[in-house]
Amino acid sequence: MTSDDYSSDYAEDEAVQSRSSTLRETTDLLDRYSDKINLDQYLGASHRTTRDKSERATVDQVLDPRTVGFLGKLFKNGTITRINGCISTGKEANVYHAVNENNGREYAVKIYKTSILVFKDRERYVDGEFRFRNTKSQSNPRKMVRTWAEKEFRNLKRLYSSGIPSPEPIDLKSHVLVMEYLTKGEGQPSPKLKDYQFKDLDEVVDYYQRMLVDMRLMFQKCRLIHADLSEYNTIVHKDDLYIFDVSQSVEPEHPMAMDFLRMDIKNVNDYFSRVKKINVYPERLIFRYIIDPWGIIDDTGKVEVEDRTTLKEYLNGIPLKSDDEKENQQDEIFRSLHLVTSLHNLEERDFQRFREGHVDTLVDLVRTADLMTEDDDEEEVSTDEENEEGEEEGSENENDDDSSDHTDSETPSKLKRFEDKDDKKKRKQAAKEKAREKRKTKMNKNVKKRLVKKSHKH
């Protein structure tokens, strides 16, 4: 045998020993907590033994030695005293039913999988987040999954502390998250929105408005956008709508935050209009309803977000979506817009448009889509849909001018978004002519570089 053969055999022996050691460690830990951990499917007060090999592999996939070690810490600190079985399995995580027999509370233990590759596209939900700016080695599945679990825990804390119905976060150990278990009694989980049996059409409308109110409160109070909101990630619990699964939620400053918000709005509208067959609000108006910073100003000058009753009453004043072709076209244009949240997210080519007044900064920056024509300039979008905020502020300014004593009250506004259509065309044409004349006398770059080098030498 050659030396290469010996080294190959040695490597194989090392691999076998390593696997054996891992299996022994897992077995020892499971034996230690065998009387407290049940891995079978949890069906309320009963269990179903998992016999199917593929299903069993899915259940056990998250329980490596490190994970069992983190579960051991939860047992030691008294957070939970028993795991009764697996509630659900998914691509990213398994959820187990647990209890604390000392206080009688039920918990959901969410264990993220560390041996899968579904997190390859998850970096976009973390990159650009100020909270996770120092996160490193996102290509490492174990480190990425730990960041993902921490993100969900912190987002849940924001929702719960702000009074938005959501499961209470209890504890976090690396990629093992413990939260409140939403149950309707006897271990039976509260239904997801997609499985909830509505009493009548009025209740459907009520839950639709509740979801929109929660989206606004998430944005204004928690500074969060869900980024995956749908009927699958909401639960009807105690006659209220609870939001969960917020691991991918981002702050409004995230580069893709506005795109995620627009996607959430579309998902919600699609479910209630196509599945529940009710009239919904136009997407662009919902977008504006969520991001507009209007509020009640208290004696200290602090702006407070309105209560749920006020927010719901405001919704009743928004016109519902109709079959009008022009209105549907406006929503289609809104879906195609390039949305940015700050100047840092503007591309280099956008700055010229910003200087010319094509990008506004009332709330968040929004660049109109290339498909919009010159004739549509009066409908250019500023911060939400089609510069409706600008039009409203314009009308308010006009009213203020009429009521004031200034002599220049009839002078037209100098703001570019308020100028007349013909004046805008003339201004653009004049700018083009000026740029054309400037290019005629512009120095060639190569000549300029040579002159700069000569000046440095002297």
What is the domain-level CATH number for residue 81? 3.30.200.20
CA distances from 40 to 37, 51, 86, 400 (A): 9, 9, 6, 69
110 is in an annotated binding site: yes
- Answer yes or no: is 111 within a domain: yes
- Answer yes or no: is 38 within a domain: yes
Residues 293, 149 share a domain: no
Angstrom distance (rounded) from CA 299 to CA 279: 39
Residues 97, 65 share a domain: yes
Residues 226, 100 share a domain: no
- Answer yes or no: is 410 within a domain: no
In what helix (H) or strand (E) does residue 41 lie, and over which residues does it extend?
strand 41-43
Q: 166: domain range?
A: 22-44+52-180
- Answer yes or no: is 342 within a domain: no
Burial class (CB in 10 A: 0-12, 13-18, 19+), 42: buried
182 is in an annotated binding site: yes
Any bridge partners for residue 2, and if so which?
none
Q: What is the pLDDT of residue 33?
A: 72
Domain count, the chain: 2
Angstrom distance (rounded) from CA 448 to CA 443: 7
Residue 96 phi/psi, 5-degree rounding, is: -115, 150
Which pTM was predicted? 0.66
- Answer yes or no: is 62 within a domain: yes
Q: What is the pLDDT of residue 447?
A: 72
Any bridge partners for residue 48, and if so which?
41
Residues marked as catalytic: 228, 245
Span 410-449, pLDDT tens digits:
444 444 555 677 888 888 888 888 888 877 777 777 777 7
Residue that finishes a domain, picked among 301, 320, 337: 337
Helices (H), 305-420: 308-316, 325-335, 350-355, 388-403
- Tens-digit pLDDT profile for the chain (458 aa)? 555 555 555 556 565 555 566 556 666 666 677 778 887 888 765 555 454 544 444 455 677 788 888 999 999 999 999 999 999 888 788 999 999 999 999 999 999 887 654 555 555 555 656 565 555 555 677 777 888 899 999 999 999 999 999 999 999 999 999 999 999 887 789 999 999 999 999 999 999 999 999 999 999 999 999 999 999 999 999 999 999 999 899 998 888 888 899 999 999 999 999 999 999 999 999 999 999 887 655 666 655 667 898 899 999 999 998 877 777 788 888 887 777 666 666 665 565 665 665 544 434 333 333 333 333 333 333 334 444 444 444 444 444 444 444 434 444 444 455 567 788 888 888 888 888 887 777 777 777 777 766 665 55
Residues 198, 118 share a domain: no
156 is in an annotated binding site: no
Q: What is the pLDDT of residue 36?
A: 82
Residues 267, 174 share a domain: no
Q: Hey, what amino acid is at 451?
A: L
269 is in an annotated binding site: no
Q: What is the pLDDT of residue 207?
A: 97
Residues 206, 142 share a domain: no
- Answer yes or no: is 380 within a domain: no
Residue that finishes a domain, picked among 302, 337, 372: 337
